[in-house]
Structure formats: structure tokens, C-alpha cells
Chains A and B, each alone.
Chain A
């Protein structure tokens, strides 16, 4: 019998693609239901204002308009839930309602809902709704919001502070800083970004008048969680009354994890009207009202010795949460940020204090990397600052402080679970070799003589993947107050075809392919015989969804375990068929046989048939091969790597040319190299974009000046480099496949590589730090002011 081809480790092309490359995908806006109506939202032009009155009469009279609703109409449903409630800290969670009531807290806040027969009419009627506002002073900066006299966004949150949080050892850190040979201080801003999945968000809700059940098609990364939040918290109805379906989703990057007003108001209006209601954001609405990311103001001090040892790190961060509390907003700048601030380094004393504040801006929540890019940027920027201060090569400083291979599992003392595995220096060495580091330094020196500014930036990162262990993330004080396990059901039908349902779902990550590769190998069946079903609360039993780079390390392991259970049961049934003892059986390559007698074997298809026909099964064995696992891993996984960027800065204009980008990543064992590379490429692109291009920018009145794609610079093909990637492989001991995850690593590793390079290019001018993004004017001004300082 022919050996089954191993699929794990193979760079096979994706099974998701044939429908997508033919335009046969099925995104929410592609769905059309009989009797479907269209919703459009009247949105606040003010960042902060009282709603004095709303006149809907002209809109209602407009032909084709079915209804116009305001916030007060929807008081029979609750505000959206806050799903992050840390124990032991102040946490004043004021969440949005389906529509604003009484006042608006950011530009784009929804104040009225128009339902019409078609989308053009709905949009026309938006202009006919007359809203009287009383504008209030606004605040947009996270730190300024806490200062005395700042406009108050919510009465409940004094000084606009939603929550205060800390981790680490304050006393030890203060002592380390007080006694340090060297202390470097900096104010570091991690600017606001707009995630910008290419598909905007939207919902299509259908209420079944006959059964009282809802179905919502949504652009979601977590349909099961939305079902829970919308029923139990917003509508107060049994969870079974709502089916959530995430069909093809056009990118998420975090923005599509959360519970949004449109989910609630389309459901509410559909129930009211007895007709399906569709709402799809325009891009400008997406920019003004769907969640943003990052937006930290940080004061940081790093202490160390003259010979390059880091001895302490103290961080104070003001994290902007926007006009209301988004679903898991406060978890991002705390658990996923503060707890990994020391990065790949052994820093004996560290402390982080975070204020999450309300401002008159769009809500801020997870965006690709979610807390970890902010942490990684901070420490890597400071390592360069420290290296410059003591006059040591930045690569050498990193080397002297790395956590060593023998230190794993490593506890960083910040309340994180232990780092699972790592070996940081080989990745650094490989990356340095790829750019021919010593040679570059010569080139740089030569270039400076000619007035050319070349720079190289290093970034050694570690991140948290497979964000899950319920016992940790759900524990008191962590904030989620719930588990993050994942479910998977594996069935082998009587024809031998394998069907997997999972709570993880792809919106670009290719996990439909990756999962099928795993199942094919585990069960020894042809890859084509494995079907992965996802995205529907009626399919998988439960699911926390896809984010936090957890699809493979959590969702994938759930199905891996289900596959083991299938094999165990298959051995029992095969033993019965072969009249052997179950304990003598082995299962290999899709066949069960008595140890030592592989020629007399039962294939999985034969066993599945036996299990399904079920007339002859061993005593006490249930029919069918059908196994479900709720997998809750013992730990997160911790991928790492070193990235290097090389830039040239135009001294005359400040324009940055990213000439080379090199990355050596260690994501543990790799299932599909093609997909992993793709994830890294896209992740790096988003980090580069933060360093050079993107800025969600509000003026002091709270107007979003980067409110359309005409102003917010999503990089084009011509604005991004070629990615030169290599790997090291340090398997994770956390799961049986030794995998870690790759969805966010690129983003977490990249922004600081580019910024460090830009600053390195200007270091001979005395430049020590510059905020992101390194736009031409900002770089040019930095050059000018350092030249003036030198004069």
C-alpha cells in the first residue's frame, strides 16, 4: 500500500483560493435576502455634544423610507457589554448603546437610524434628519484627558480615567533606577492607527417572526462570542435564539473581534419591522466609528550599567480608549502590554503603570498585535537609546541581556505565564549575517562622508501567541473573567470523509488549509477528504474565535486532540473487526492493525463504515466516529525573532527610503511555509506602515483629519520593500505539535526595526529619538533642529 503523502510542512496552495480568485466569495454585503431593507446612520459631526433634539419627520416622509429610529426608541435593549473587567482595579466601563442617547462622545457617534427600501434612499434620508446639538469642549489626548479641567467625557469616570492598572515591582524598580550607573529617559508615543481591513464592517440581521429567532450575518472574527454577548447581555434573550454567521470576512486585524452597535440595531430594527435589515459601513464611517488601535503616551526610564547590562525598567502609559469602552479595550494596554514589556531581556526590576482614559475619539481596542507591538516598540527603542548612551553597539547590548536558552521556562516577573521556549541569539546572528552587519557599518561611515544618511535598525522581539489558558486569562485580576479555550469536532462519515467543525475561522490566515493538512496527517487520510467547517454558530459547538494568533496553537490543537480520540476509538473498533485486543493495536497512516502485523489492517474508511453501520461494535462502544474537544492549553506560546531594516534618509526632504528588510523569525514548527511567509509579510507591512505612513490623527476639536483613504496612508505596493525572511525553529513544549503561531509576529517585530534604522541614520547628528510615523516633514524637522543644536 502506498505511503500517504505527509502534508504537514508542505507549502501547498490554499484551498480557500479558488472561490476567491473567481469572485465567488461570499462576504456579508454579497448576501441578499427576500424583503431585505437597508440601514443608514445619522452620525454626529461633533466630537462632544449634547443632543438637544432630533426631528425625523422629513426623513420619514421621504419616499422609500420605512422607519427612522433614535436612541430613545431602543432603550429596551442594553448597552453593549464590556468583556474586560479586571478584579482589584478601578474600571469604569461606559459602553456604547445601539444609538447615542442624550450626548455624543466622538465624531461619527450614531444618533439616528434610517431604514429604507434601498441604500441610495437610506443615504438620502440621512440628510433629512435634523439634529440639534449643543457642542461641548473636546479632549483627544490620553494624558491631557486626565489633567485638571479637561472636558469630562463621562460623568461616571472622574478625570476621564476608566481604569488604573499596574504590574511588576514598583519598589525594586525605583531602587534599581536610583542606584543605576546610567538612566535613559524618553517620552514615547505609539500613535493611533486605523486597522483598515479592506472589507469594511457590517451586519445583516433577519428576525423570524414565526419562531422569534434571529440570524445575523456579520463581519466577525468571533461569531460565537457575538452570539453570547448580543443575547445574554444586550437583548436579554436565550442564547439559542440567535444564530451568528461569519461568511467570508475581508480581513479583520482585530477590528472585527468586537461587539458593535450595528449588530444590535440591525437585530432590533429587523424585529420591529419583520424584515431583514442590512447595514454596511462606508469606508469613511469605518474610519470614524469602528475601533482604532494603539494610541499610547508613555514615559519610560531604563536603567543599566556602563558595561551594557539593563537593570531596571519603569513605564507609565496613558492608553487612549476613545469615547466609550469597546468590548475588551482595557485588556490590550494591560495584560497584553504591561506583562511583556521586558521583551527578550532579563531585566531584574520592572514596573508598569497604565491609565486607560476616555477621550472624544473613536473607540480603541485590539489591532494586530494588540499591546505587544506597543511593548516591543518601547523596549526596543529604549535598548537603542541605552546602547547610544553607553556607546555600545546595539547588537552587543541586546546580546548581553538576552534571556538564555537554559532560562526557559522563563518567568519575567510581570505576571505573565512563563515564556515557553526560546533561543534568541541564533536569530540575531543570522539576521546580522544576512545584512553583512560589519560591512554595513563601513558603508554607513563612507556614505556619511558623502552626506548620505544610511541607517540600520535592529529589533529583537518576543510575543504572546495562542492567547488562551482560561485558568490564567480568566483568573481574578486578569480581566477577561472568561475562558479562551477552543472547540473542535471531528467526524468521520461512513464514506470515510472527514468533517471538522471549529470555532476558529479564517479571514485571510489560511487556516482552512492548515487545519486540513493537520487532519490529513493525523488521520492518514487524503487531504482532499478533509472538510473544514467554520464561521457558523450552528456548526461548531462553541468557539472563542480567531485573534491573538490563537487559531493554530489553540483551535488547531483542539482538532489535533479530537483526531487522537478518533484514532483511539478506531483502534477499539478495528480490534473488534480483527478479533484482537485493543491494547495490541496501533494506528498509523490511516490504518489500524495489530502491532507487528501491518499487512492485516483496517483502513479508517473501513472502520468508519463499521462504526456507522453499527451492527457489530464492541460492547459499550457508541456508533460513529465523532469526537469533540474543548482544548484549553496549559500556556501561551512565545514566538520570537530579530528583524533588521536598512534605510536611507534624504537629507534635503526627510523622505525615508526603506532599502532592505530582513527578518529571522522563530514561530516553532511550521505546518505550511507558504502561509507562514504570507502572514509574516502582511504583518511586517503593517508595522512598516506604522513606522513610516499611518496616523489616525485628530485635531484638538476632535475632528478626525485622517477620516478617509485620501488622508490615511495605507501603503501601496510601491511603498513597501521586499521581505528577506529566514527562520530558526524552536518548538513549543506547550502543545504536541510544537507550534507557536505567526499571525501577529510580523507586526510586533517590525515598526521598531524601521524607526531604529531612521534614528540610526541620523545618529551622527545627535538624534536620539523621534516619534512615529517618520513622515518626511517630521524627519526633516528632526534634522533641522539637531543641526541647529549643533551650531
Chain B
């Protein structure tokens, strides 16, 4: 319940944050704090300094830039949930945000904080993969943009290097014929995903032209179900196709398991929720 001591630095710009991180390699960025503070309270995390970036204006807000939606890393789950722009141009994200944690958590927790933390059971990563999002990362040597496919590198591990900050999330604007959905089984206590599958499909003439499917919760990090994507592309997404395609999508040996849900069961759930997510996405296309 009580964290260790640390020094606290509130910054107003990304550059300030970067220079503080460089000075103190043990410092952690504090965004909404809804992953970090609980870990610190259980003394599982013990940074000597926190750099509070939650008020950095340049990290906030949702805007459209051509065919891309640019979401500031410090945008809260609530802001995503309520965003009229997203509801129109990328309805998957408000849908996912709506089931994260609870309202009080959503009022503080941020998209950037969640992605940077890369909890293997977080909900957003699956949708980032399905949407084909990309992440802008800024460091002292300038900035770079990393595809979601290359962003989640392991359990609690991302492409963000030391001294770097995730500043923006770029999401393509939904185009004609596109449907997207997220289907999940939530852990009844933690409310994190046991298995969550996000699907984005582009349909034309009743046939799937493109599919992207992201899975979270079951493995060490969120990942694409590429085989499934290939298996359904070029086909109608009817029950028979989906049922045939969603079989043994992942190997239990590659998954996490605990006393609530074993790896075998999670592997089964990936099949079930992938099928449901694709069906729901097709229904919305």
C-alpha cells in the first residue's frame, strides 16, 4: 500500500522529460499511473525518480491528419471512449476503451501509458495490431515511427528504448467496407483479458478483401494471427468459413497459463474469440 521513496519531477515538454530520463536512467515516466502506481504500492517496482508527463500539452488530444488519426500518448481511456471523432473514424478504439478497468481508471489511465507498459493482458495492443497502428517514439536522437507489429517485443517489453518517449499513436481512418470488433473474456477479478481478439476486415461483395487480427491476453505479448488472416482473405466470412479457419490458431506451449485459465484453455479461447471477433467485424462492415 505504501511505495518506496522517490523524487518527483513534473515536466511541461517532451524535451524536458527526455533530458531528465537521460540524467537519471533509473527514472520512470509517470503517465496516468494506473499500471505503475499499483506495482509500486506492492513494491514490485521501485524507481528512484518519477517524471510526470501527464500534463505535457503536446502529448494530449485526438486529431485527424489526412487519412491518419493522431492520438497523443497522454490521451486518457475516457477521452478515447467519448471521442466523437474516433467513434466515427475508428470505432474500435472507443469500444475497447469502454471495457478497460472501470470509469475511475479510465479517467486517469492513458493510451500511451498502457501501450508503453505492454502488459500481456492489456486490451489495447490487440486492437493496435488489428488496426495497423503505428507509434511515434521520440528520443534525444530524434524521432521514429514503429509499426504495431514491431512495437510489442515481449512481456512488458516494447520497441521504446531507454531515454525515449512514446508520443503519438497513429491509426488509419476507417475506409469504406471496413468493419472492426473486439471480443474478449475478462478475468473476473483483475478485469484484464484472459484472451482478447481484435479484428479488422475490409469486405467487398460479401468477400473479405483484407483481414487483420490481433490477439492479447493469452501469450507473452500481443501478436497478429497472420495465418488466420490469410485463411479468411478472399472468402465470405460466413459461419462455415470462420469455423473452419479458427481451429488451433495458437499452440498452448506458446501461451501463458494460471489456475484460472490454463494455456490449453486459452488456446481454445483464441479460436472461439477470433471467430467471434471476425464475425462481429464482418457484421459491422
Contacts and interface: CB of A to CB of B under 8 A. Distances in A.
A346 B271 CA distance: 50
B141 interface: no
B259 interface: yes
Interface string A702-728: 000110111111110001000000000
A215 interface: no
A27 interface: no
Interface stretch (B11-19, B183-191, B208-216): B183-191
A712 B265 contact: no
A693 B258 contact: no
Interface string A275-288: 00000001110000
B2 A777 contact: no
A775 B259 CA distance: 10
B185 A711 contact: no
A655 interface: yes
Nearest to B191: A716
A211 B40 CA distance: 43
A693 B189 CA distance: 9
A283 B189 CA distance: 14
B269 A697 contact: no
A780 interface: yes
Contact of A652 (B1, B43, B272): B272
A719 B188 contact: yes
B43 A653 contact: no
B9 to A, nearest CB: 20
Given A123-B2, A124-B4, A712-B189, A777 B43 contact: no
Contacts of B2: 119-120, 123-124
A715 B191 CA distance: 11
A45 interface: no
Interface string A683-697: 000000000010001
Q: Mostly helix, strand, loop or mixed at chain A's interface?
A: loop
B260 A777 contact: yes
Contacts of B5: 124
Contacts of B42: 284, 708
A481 interface: no
Given A652-B272, A775-B260, A776-B185, A711 B190 contact: yes
B262 A777 contact: yes
B4 A713 contact: no
A715 B189 CA distance: 8
A781 B264 CA distance: 10
B37 interface: no
B262 A709 contact: no
B188 A710 contact: no
Contacts of B272: 652-653
Nearest to B190: A710
Contact of B268 (A697, A709, A780): A780
Contact of B269 (A653, A699, A714, A775): A653
Nearest to A711: B189
A127 interface: yes
Contacts of A711: 189-190, 260
B207 interface: no
B261 interface: yes
Q: Mostly helix, strand, loop or mixed at chain B's interface?
A: loop
Contacts of A710: 189-190
B188 A715 contact: yes
Contact of A282 (B1, B259, B260, B269): B1
Given A127-B43, A780-B268, A697 B185 contact: no
B189 A777 contact: no
Interface in B248-270: 258-262, 265, 268-269
Contact size range, B: 20 to 34
Interface string A765-791: 000000000011100110000000000
A138 B1 CA distance: 28
Nearest to B188: A713
A28 to B, nearest CB: 16
A655 B265 CA distance: 12
A775 B190 CA distance: 15
A706 B187 CA distance: 13
B43 A705 contact: no
Contacts of A715: 188
A36 B5 CA distance: 23
Contacts of B259: 697, 699, 705
Nearest to A708: B42
B38 to A, nearest CB: 8
Nearest to B1: A282
A120 B262 CA distance: 38
B261 A709 contact: no
A709 B185 contact: no
Nearest to A653: B272
Contacts of B43: 127
A705 B258 contact: yes
B268 A693 contact: no
Contacts of A124: 2, 4-5
Contacts of A282: 1
Interface string A747-781: 00000000000000000000000000001110011
Given A652-B272, A705-B259, A710-B189, A777 B265 contact: yes
Contacts of B268: 780
Interface string B142-176: 00000000000000000000000000000000000
Contacts of A775: 260
A773 B78 CA distance: 33
A699 B4 CA distance: 29
Interface in A44-92: none
Contacts of A714: 189
A116 to B, nearest CB: 11
A355 to B, nearest CB: 26
Nearest to B3: A120
14 contacts: A123-B1, A123-B2, A127-B43, A282-B1, A653-B272, A705-B258, A709-B189, A711-B190, A711-B260, A713-B188, A714-B189, A719-B188, A775-B260, A780-B268
Interface of A: 119-120, 123-124, 127, 282-284, 652-653, 655, 693, 697, 699, 705-706, 708-715, 719, 775-777, 780-781
Chain A to chain B: the 6 pairs with minimum beta-carbon distance, closest first: A713-B188, A713-B189, A123-B2, A777-B265, A710-B190, A282-B1
Given A127-B43, A653-B272, 11 more contacts: A124-B4, A284-B42, A655-B185, A699-B259, A706-B189, A708-B42, A710-B189, A777-B265, A780-B265, A780-B268, A781-B265
